[in-house]
Chains A and B, each alone.
Chain A
C-alpha cells in the first residue's frame, strides 16, 4: 500500500489524518513541522505528502518547494491542507509545486476521496 507522509503541527489534526489513512490501509508516517518532514522525506521516499500550511519552523508551502527540488520528489503528489480563507495560499502552493489541496474543515471520507484522486 502506498506510503504517505502526514505533516501538521497540530497533534489532533495529525492524528486524525494519520488514523484515517492508516484505517484505510495506507502506510503513514507523521511529521510535526516542515523541518521534521523534510528530514523524514529524505530518509525514505513517500508516495504522497499531505501537509498543513501554517506551521512553525517551516511552513507547508516552503516544504513543498523544498521537496520538489529533490529529484525523488519531482513527481510525487503533494496535497496541502488549507483553510477556506486561503485562496491566495492555494495559488502560492500551486506555484511552489503542490499537486492539490484540501480545504479545512474536512472529514475522513473527503480526505480519502481526495487522496485517491492523486494517488495511483
Chain B
C-alpha cells in the first residue's frame, strides 16, 4: 500500500518544535547536583519521540543526531552519568541545532552541515569524553548523519529469495514445541501456520501425547507440539522471521528438507536455535545469511520535498472544542423547538416563542464565546521562551539572575501572542543588561546577589496586562533628563513630571547605557517597542524607583472582534460604552456638580471629585429633546488608570456588539474605537474610553 507520508510532516514538525521547547525548559530547570529524575525523563522522552518520528518520516540526519542526544540522556537517566553544567550547555546547543535543522527541512532548504557537524562534535566529545572511556563511541558513530539520504536498516527482513537458487524439493522441516505459556502473550500457533503456508506448501503433524488428563488440563496452557514440513524455496531467515515473536516461548528446530541439487552459490548457514542441535552443514563454505539493508529503497527520504509549506494553524484544547460542539447541539435543539412553534403558530403560543427566543439568545451568546475562545492561547506560548533567553544572556554577562513567570495560563488572542514576542524580548534584554546590576554591585548596594526579573500576565478590566518587573538599579531621572537635554530632545527650561521623564526612553535615538553592548540596543529599540504595542491597540507604562528596580507594564486589549457594551442615549444618537470600563452608573443631582477652577466640571462621588465629560458637547449632538444641563446619568468609567464620568441622557441596555472597524470603512476618529450595527439597522459608535479621557484632558 502506498501512503503519502508527507501528510504527517506538518504534525511532526509541530510536535518536534514542541518537544524541543520541552527539552529546553527541562534543561534550564535542571538544578546541577540535585537532579529531578522526572525532568530528565521528560527531556529524554522528547528526544526519543523526535528520533522515532524523524526515522519514520525519513529525516535520517535528524534521527542520527537525536540518537546521540538520546544516548547521553539515557545515561543521565540511569544515573550512569553526572549531570554537569557543560553537559547541559552542550545539550542546549543541540536543541538549537535540531531546531535549525528542522526549520531547514521544513522550508525545504539544505541543512547547514557545518553547524550540525560542530554541534555533533561537541555532543560526541561530551558523550565520550567524561564518562566511561571510549565505550560509548560506537552508537555515536553508527548513527552519524549521512550526507545522502540513507534509510536506516529496517529490522523486518524482506529479503526475496534469489530465484536461481530455488530447488523444487527444497524446504524446511520445523520442529515447533511451544512452552506452556506461549498462548499467554496473545500468540497463536494457528496464525503462525497461516503465515508459513503463505510461503509454500505446509504439512503439519500434531503431537498430542503431552496433553494431560482432562481433570488436570489447564485450558490456557499449550500442551501440543508440531512437526511441520514446509516445501518452499525460502531462506531460513524468512521462516525464522515468522517465529520471531515466539522464539523465546518455544523450542524450535530447523532442518533443511533435502540437499539442493545444484548449488550455484553457497547456501546460508543453518542457524543454531538455543535449544539443542546443530543441523548438518549444507554447503562447505557457508557465509551467514546477510540481510541487506542497502537494497531497500530509500523509504520516504524524498517525501519531504513535496511537504506543504507551514500553514498558519492553531492548536486548540479538546475541552474547548467539546464545549463548542455542545453549544452547537443546544442551538440545534432550540432551533427545532422554534421551528415547531412556527409551523403551527397561534397567538397563545407567544409565551412559548418568547422563551424560545430567550434561549436562542443565550445559546448564541455562549456559542459565540466558545468560538472566540478558540483563538485564545495561554501566554505561556510566549513566556516559555524566556527562561532560555535569561539563562544565555546572564551567563554571557556574568550576572546572576532568576526569572519568575507568573500567570502563564492567562489567555490572550492568537494575534497578540504572535506580535508581543519581539517587544517582550527587547524589554527583557534591557532589564538584563541595564536593569540588573553586576553581582558585586548588588552586594555593595545591600541587595541579594541574585537579581530577579518577574514576568507577569493577568487580566484587568478588558485588558491583559503584561509586566516586566526587575529589582535592578532603576531609572535615574536626572541622568535621563540631562541626556535628553544633551541630545537636544527636550528644552532645558521645560519642567517635566517623573512619568514624562521616564517616557523619554521611548524617544527615537535615546540611549543611556554607558557602554553599548551587543545584547541590548543602541537606542533604536524602545520607540519601536512602543509603536508595536500601540499597533496592537495597547499602551506601555514605566514605573521605576532609583536603586530599587523598574516595572514596565504593557496593557493590551483582550478581545478583538466582539465586546460587551452598554448602550447609552445622547440626544437621538446611541453610543456604546464598553462594559468592562464601566465602574458604575448614577443618576445625577444638582448638588453633585461642581465647577473647579482650572479643572473644568467635576462631580463628587463619595469622597472623590471626578471630572465630567459631557457626551453631548464632545460629540456635538444637537438633536433630541433638550435635557437640562444638570439632568441625566453619569456613567463612571475607568480609562488610563483614572476615573471619569460620562454625562449621557439615558442608559438603554446591555448587549454584545460586533466591532466594525471605522478606520477601514471611514477614517480614524478620536474618541471612537469602532462602530457597530444595532438591531434596528442603525449605526452606533463605540466609545474609546481612554481616548476620550485623553481628549477631555486637553
A103 touches which of B15, B155, B299 (Cβ 8 Å): B155
B653 beta carbon closer than 8 Å to chain A: no
- Whether B52 and A10, one on each chain, are in contact in the complex, defined by CB atoms closer than 8 angstroms, is yes
- Whether B3 and A23, one on each chain, are in contact in the complex, defined by CB atoms closer than 8 angstroms, is yes
The answer to whether A109 and B1 touch (CB under 8 A), given A15-B11, A74-B220, A99-B186, is yes
- Whether A120 and B53, one on each chain, are in contact in the complex, defined by CB atoms closer than 8 angstroms, is no
- Whether A16 and B220, one on each chain, are in contact in the complex, defined by CB atoms closer than 8 angstroms, is no
How far is A76 from B51 in the complex, measured between Cα atoms in Å?
29
A30 beta carbon closer than 8 Å to chain B: no
Contacts of A68 in B (CB 8 A): 184
A56 touches which of B8, B42, B71 (Cβ 8 Å): B42
Near B by CB (< 8 A), chain A positions 86-115 give 91, 94, 97-110, 112-114
Contacts of A100 in B (CB 8 A): 187, 244-245
The answer to whether A10 and B15 touch (CB under 8 A), given A97-B185, A107-B300, is yes
Contacts of A78 in B (CB 8 A): 186
- Whether A56 and B56, one on each chain, are in contact in the complex, defined by CB atoms closer than 8 angstroms, is no
Near A by CB (< 8 A), chain B positions 1-33 give 1, 3, 5, 7-9, 11-12, 14-15
Number of interface residues of B (CB under 8 A): 47
Number of interface residues of A (CB under 8 A): 49
How far is A116 from B195 in the complex, measured between Cα atoms in Å?
9
Contacts of B248 in A (CB 8 A): 91, 94
- Whether B42 and A77, one on each chain, are in contact in the complex, defined by CB atoms closer than 8 angstroms, is no
B555 beta carbon closer than 8 Å to chain A: no
A19 touches which of B3, B9, B55 (Cβ 8 Å): B3
Closest chain A residue to B52 by CB distance? Answer: A104
In the complex, how many angstroms separate the beta carbon of B85 from the nearest chain A beta carbon?
A: 27
A117 beta carbon closer than 8 Å to chain B: yes
How far is A100 from B188 in the complex, measured between Cα atoms in Å?
12
How far is A96 from B66 in the complex, measured between Cα atoms in Å?
28
How far is A100 from B155 in the complex, measured between Cα atoms in Å?
13
Contacts of B154 in A (CB 8 A): 103, 105-107, 110
Closest chain A residue to B190 by CB distance? Answer: A120
How far is A113 from B195 in the complex, measured between Cα atoms in Å?
10
In the complex, how many angstroms separate the beta carbon of A60 from the nearest chain B beta carbon?
A: 12
In the complex, how many angstroms separate the beta carbon of B72 from the nearest chain A beta carbon?
A: 13
How far is A37 from B49 in the complex, measured between Cα atoms in Å?
18
A117 touches which of B12, B15, B183, B245 (Cβ 8 Å): B245
Near A by CB (< 8 A), chain B positions 236-263 give 242, 244-245, 248
- Whether A16 and B8, one on each chain, are in contact in the complex, defined by CB atoms closer than 8 angstroms, is yes
- Whether B56 and A106, one on each chain, are in contact in the complex, defined by CB atoms closer than 8 angstroms, is yes
Q: Name A's interface SS.
A: mixed
- Whether B8 and A19, one on each chain, are in contact in the complex, defined by CB atoms closer than 8 angstroms, is yes
Closest chain B residue to A110 by CB distance? Answer: B156
The answer to whether A108 and B1 touch (CB under 8 A), given A10-B53, A13-B52, A94-B248, is yes
- Whether B56 and A94, one on each chain, are in contact in the complex, defined by CB atoms closer than 8 angstroms, is no
In the complex, how many angstroms separate the beta carbon of A1 from the nearest chain B beta carbon?
A: 15
Contacts of B660 in A (CB 8 A): none
How far is A9 from B22 in the complex, measured between Cα atoms in Å?
14
Contacts of A105 in B (CB 8 A): 52, 55-57, 63, 151-152, 154, 299
Contacts of A98 in B (CB 8 A): 185-186
Contacts of A52 in B (CB 8 A): 52
Contacts of A107 in B (CB 8 A): 5, 56, 154, 299-300
- Whether A77 and B56, one on each chain, are in contact in the complex, defined by CB atoms closer than 8 angstroms, is no
A83 beta carbon closer than 8 Å to chain B: yes
Of B1, B52, B70, B187, most buried by chain A (CB within 10 Å of CB) is B52
A16 touches which of B56, B70, B156, B195 (Cβ 8 Å): B56
B606 beta carbon closer than 8 Å to chain A: no
Closest chain A residue to B11 by CB distance? Answer: A12
How far is A9 from B15 in the complex, measured between Cα atoms in Å?
10
1/0 contact trace for A1-29 toward B, CB 8 Å? Answer: 00000000111110110011001100000
1/0 contact trace for B170-189 toward A, CB 8 Å? Answer: 00000000000001111110
A118 beta carbon closer than 8 Å to chain B: yes
How far is A104 from B70 in the complex, measured between Cα atoms in Å?
15
- Whether B185 and A23, one on each chain, are in contact in the complex, defined by CB atoms closer than 8 angstroms, is no
Contacts of A77 in B (CB 8 A): 186-187
Closest chain A residue to B241 by CB distance? Answer: A117
The answer to whether A20 and B1 touch (CB under 8 A), given A77-B186, A83-B48, A107-B300, is yes
A42 beta carbon closer than 8 Å to chain B: no
B186 touches which of A104, A118, A120 (Cβ 8 Å): A118
- Whether A99 and B245, one on each chain, are in contact in the complex, defined by CB atoms closer than 8 angstroms, is yes
- Whether B8 and A15, one on each chain, are in contact in the complex, defined by CB atoms closer than 8 angstroms, is yes
A85 touches which of B42, B49, B139 (Cβ 8 Å): B139
- Whether B1 and A76, one on each chain, are in contact in the complex, defined by CB atoms closer than 8 angstroms, is no
Contacts of B622 in A (CB 8 A): none
B456 beta carbon closer than 8 Å to chain A: no
B194 beta carbon closer than 8 Å to chain A: yes
In the complex, how many angstroms separate the beta carbon of B192 from the nearest chain A beta carbon?
A: 8
A–B Cβ pairs within 8 angstroms, 5 of them: A13-B49, A13-B56, A19-B8, A97-B186, A99-B186
Given A23-B3, A112-B1, A116-B195; 19 other pairs, CB 8 A cutoff: A9-B45, A9-B49, A10-B49, A10-B52, A12-B57, A13-B53, A75-B186, A83-B51, A84-B155, A97-B184, A97-B185, A99-B187, A103-B154, A107-B154, A108-B1, A108-B5, A110-B154, A110-B158, A113-B156
B residues at A contact (CB < 8 Å): 1, 3, 5, 7-9, 11-12, 14-15, 42, 44-45, 48-49, 51-53, 55-57, 63, 70-71, 139, 151-152, 154-156, 158, 183-188, 191, 194-195, 220, 242, 244-245, 248, 299-300
A residues at B contact (CB < 8 Å): 9-13, 15-16, 19-20, 23-24, 52, 54-56, 68, 74-78, 81, 83-85, 91, 94, 97-110, 112-114, 116-120
In the A-B complex, list the 5 residue pairs whose CB atoms are closest, starting with the nearest: A105-B55, A100-B245, A12-B12, A99-B186, A103-B155
